[in-house]
Amino acid sequence: MTNEFLHFEKISRHTWQNLHRKTTPPLTEEELNSIKSFNDKISLQDVTDVYLPLTHLIQIYKRSKEDLAFSKGIFLQKESRKQPFIIGVSGSVAVGKSTTSRLLQILLSRTFSNATVELVTTDGFLLPNQTLEANGILNRKGFPESYDMELLLNFLDSIKNGQDFEIPVYSHEIYDIVPQQKQKVRAADFVIVEGINVFQNPQNERLYMTDFFDFSIYVDAEVANIESWYLDRFKKLLTLAEDDSSNYYHRFTTQPEQEVMAFAQNIWKTINLVNLLDYIEPTRNRAEIILHKAGNHEIDEIYLKK
């Protein structure tokens, strides 16, 4: 066990699945298929074995947060305001963060009666391509400096204080921020914030995004596996873009596959891998829990902060 995981309890899937009494997953196979990213694999068995115990653990954290807020209110002699429970989900590009987040959104809204659950991805906080180009960092998209960190922190601060907030919308089809479009995020019971950068805040070393989270999850896998998932996803994106000339990936569909895949491999090596090793993975131990995936996308090990 490396030093990095010194502070974590390593739990096998077998042990983990027995930590929660068996219940039927509160969603159907169709629903599960509709929320999973198209290059991800997840089964109802995963929901039962991994995600239901995780939801139960989140319940424990939420209760303890409320107890603490109540006691703090008594100590400060003022009434404590109800705050959203904020969950951060991080991990590499193509590791399956979106699927984990969307699944949690459904599970939480069905486990807690009448709970509202908002889901936000930090892609919306990327600077528009035009700005990235003007700053000469279009090839650094996804790196810390390519995000509007100030807006992101303002968003978290507002939500934490129970205020709704409008955020920009990013589209993978056009590979850019959508002009004039906004997502209204309510200060719901739960707010899930998902993205490769949610445990970082390099422009302001005094404040980390994790300071705003009540619970945080890092989705982890071996680099070689993530690379093959990334390339697989790239191929699928090309197939989806074949008949849509407005799609960013359409331009690649007219080129020989070998060339395009060499290009994708190069993007992985020079951009995504560098970002993972330099900026994303070093934040892994800020998570409360690490979900480790095996080559078949199945979660095989869980690390819980001691």
**DSSP letter string over 249-278?**
GGGGTTS-HHHHHHHHHHHIIIIIHHHIII
| Nearest-angstrom CA–CA distance, 265 and 234 | 10
Determine if residue 162 is labeled as part of a ligand binding site. no
Determine if residue 295 is labeled as part of a ligand binding site. no
Percent residues over pLDDT 90 in the chain: 76
Split at pLDDT 50, 70, 90, the class of 203 is low
| Nearest-angstrom CA–CA distance, 141 and 7 | 32
Type of residue numbered 140: R
| Nearest-angstrom CA–CA distance, 49 and 237 | 30
Split at pLDDT 50, 70, 90, the class of 202 is low
Determine if residue 94 is labeled as part of a ligand binding site. yes
Among candidate residues 117, 126, 131, the one with its CA nearest the CA of residue 187: 117
Helix axes 97-111, 52-76, angle to 10 degrees: 70
Q: Which domains does the chain have, with CATH numbers?
A: 3-305 (3.40.50.300)
Split at pLDDT 50, 70, 90, the class of 261 is very high
Tens of pLDDT, residue by residue over 135-182, are 999 999 999 999 999 899 999 999 999 999 999 999 988 999 999 999
Cβ neighbours for 297, distance < 8 A, ≥ 6 positions apart: 40, 41, 42, 96, 229
Cβ neighbours for 248, distance < 8 A, ≥ 6 positions apart: 172, 173, 174, 175, 176, 241
270 by Cβ neighbours in 10 Å (0-12 / 13-18 / 19+) ranks as exposed
Determine if residue 95 is labeled as part of a ligand binding site. yes
26 by Cβ neighbours in 10 Å (0-12 / 13-18 / 19+) ranks as middle
Count how many Cα atoms sit within 13 Å of the Cα of residue 23 in the half-sphere of its side chain.
14
pLDDT of residue 243: 87
pLDDT of residue 204: 58
| Nearest-angstrom CA–CA distance, 282 and 116 | 32
Determine if residue 62 is labeled as part of a ligand binding site. no
Determine if residue 64 is labeled as part of a ligand binding site. no
Longest dimension (CA), the chain: 69
Tens of pLDDT, residue by residue over 46-87, are 999 999 999 999 999 999 999 999 999 999 999 888 899 999
Global pTM reads 0.94
